[in-house]
């Protein structure tokens, strides 16, 4: 089985925001509209993310649709650090939607506010099926895709020769001959299956 085929699936990139005892958010790429009357959105969120536990506890979230103009700094802020050890909204400009949750005001096409209707434990992730309760369009722009992020936004890897494995999600390099099968990326928390050997 060659799991690299999964990289060819088309994804958008989003900032998922929640609030339980503080504002928090994370980068996700698995989002689909699954019904239209009422509008239902399905998202998949890593169980290791603080945002995931906040959504489980509060039953609501905002989905921020990122534009192609988004800078790498947004991915560093919301994807490369944990809300358990940092305040991701510290010094960051945002507004609040009618549900009280934060939404981005820059490089964001718009937001979708949702209330959770069903959850399904997928092992590493939780699938939330939620009903849209509010939304707004903030910017006339093209949405950023996972492929566009990798080819145009994410900094390119240095050509320095290393022995090891590189995370295909965030670019973290594990140096060594063998990657432990239970290894978890310290930056983006993705598993060893998302790493490729440096050739």
Average pLDDT over residues 23-32: 95
How far apart CA 134 and CA 15 sit, in angstroms, is 16
- Within a 10 A sphere around the Cβ of 199, how many other Cβ atoms? 4
Q: What burial class does residue 54 get, using C-beta atoms within 10 Å of its C-beta: 0-12 exposed, 13-18 middle, 19+ buried?
A: buried
Cβ neighbours of residue 153 under 8 Å, at least 6 residues apart? 70, 71, 72, 75, 144
How far apart CA 122 and CA 180 sit, in angstroms, is 22
How far apart CA 35 and CA 51 sit, in angstroms, is 24
- Within a 10 A sphere around the Cβ of 69, how many other Cβ atoms? 14
Give the pLDDT confidence score for residue 162 in this predicted structure: 64
Give the pLDDT confidence score for residue 161 in this predicted structure: 61
Average pLDDT over residues 58-73: 96
β-pair partners for 136: 111
Residue 118 has pLDDT above 60, yes or no: yes
| From 3-7, 40-44, 104-108, 147-151, the region with the lowest mean pLDDT | 3-7
Greater pLDDT, 155 or 104: 104
Q: Identify the CA nearest to 144 among candidates 72, 89, 45.
A: 72
Q: pLDDT tens digits for 163-185? A: 889 888 888 889 888 899 999 88
8 A C-beta contact, residue 87 and residue 22:
yes
Q: Look at the block and give the residue holding tokens 């934060």.
A: 102
Greater pLDDT, 103 or 164: 103
All structural domains of the chain, each given as residue ranges with its CATH number in brackets, are: 3-148 (2.30.110.10), 157-197 (2.20.28.10)
What percentage of the chain has pLDDT greater than the value 90?
69
Average pLDDT over residues 14-42: 95
H or E, element range at 6: none
pTM recorded for the entire structure: 0.78
Chain CA centroid to CA 136, Å? 20
Give the pLDDT confidence score for residue 160 in this predicted structure: 57
Residue 158 has pLDDT above 80, yes or no: no
How far apart CA 110 and CA 130 sit, in angstroms, is 17
Give the pLDDT confidence score for residue 134 in this predicted structure: 96
Give the pLDDT confidence score for residue 35 in this predicted structure: 94
Cβ neighbours of residue 55 under 8 Å, at least 6 residues apart? 16, 18, 45, 61, 116, 126, 128
């Amino acid at each position: 089985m060659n799991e690299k085929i999964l990289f060819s699936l088309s994804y958008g990139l989003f900032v998922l925001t929640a609030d339980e005892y503080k504002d928090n958010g994370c980068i996700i790429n698995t989002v689909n509209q699954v019904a239209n009357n009422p509008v239902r959105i399905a998202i998949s969120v890593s169980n290791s993310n603080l945002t995931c536990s906040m959504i489980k506890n509060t039953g609501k979230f905002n989905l921020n649709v990122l534009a192609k103009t988004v800078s790498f700094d947004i991915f560093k802020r919301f994807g490369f650090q944990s809300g358990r050890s940092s305040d991701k909204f510290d010094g960051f400009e945002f507004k609040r939607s009618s549900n009280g949750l934060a939404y981005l005001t820059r490089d964001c096409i718009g937001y979708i506010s949702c209330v959770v209707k069903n959850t399904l434990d997928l092992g590493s992730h939780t699938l939330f099926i939620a009903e849209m309760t509010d939304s707004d369009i903030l910017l006339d722009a093209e949405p950023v895709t996972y492929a566009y992020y990798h080819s145009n936004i994410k900094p390119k890897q240095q050509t320095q020769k290393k022995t090891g494995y590189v995370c295909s999600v965030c670019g973290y390099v594990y140096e060594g001959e063998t990657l432990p099968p239970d290894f978890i990326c310290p930056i983006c928390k993705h598993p060893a299956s998302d790493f490729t050997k440096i050739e």
